[in-house]
Amino acid sequence: MTEKHIQKMKGVVVSTKMAKTIVVEVTRLKKHPKYRKFMKVTKRYKAHNENPNVSVGDVVVIVSTRPISREKRWRILEENI
């Protein structure tokens, strides 16, 4: 059997205004190709959330999953880390 490569990301919850959906902001360091300096790159992901206990500012781990809607391809794995 083949094993799937599961993507995991750690980020901060920035919005919980949608029903069963949260917005998670993930920050990572990326090296500039010419100057070799590290830059902060921030990206926001919409994640599925069945549990209403998550609030803005919480640190969560999201994991990739099948497409749930047009923009949701992530779900919460761990919360309040």
pLDDT at 61 over 60: yes
pLDDT tens per residue, range 35-60: 999 999 999 999 999 888 899 999 99
Domains and CATH numbers, the chain: 8-79 (2.40.50.140)
pLDDT band at 80 (very low <50, low <70, confident <90, very high): confident
pLDDT at 1 over 60: no
Burial 9-37 (b: 16+ CB within 10 A, else e): bebebeeeeeeebbbbeeeeeeeeeeeee
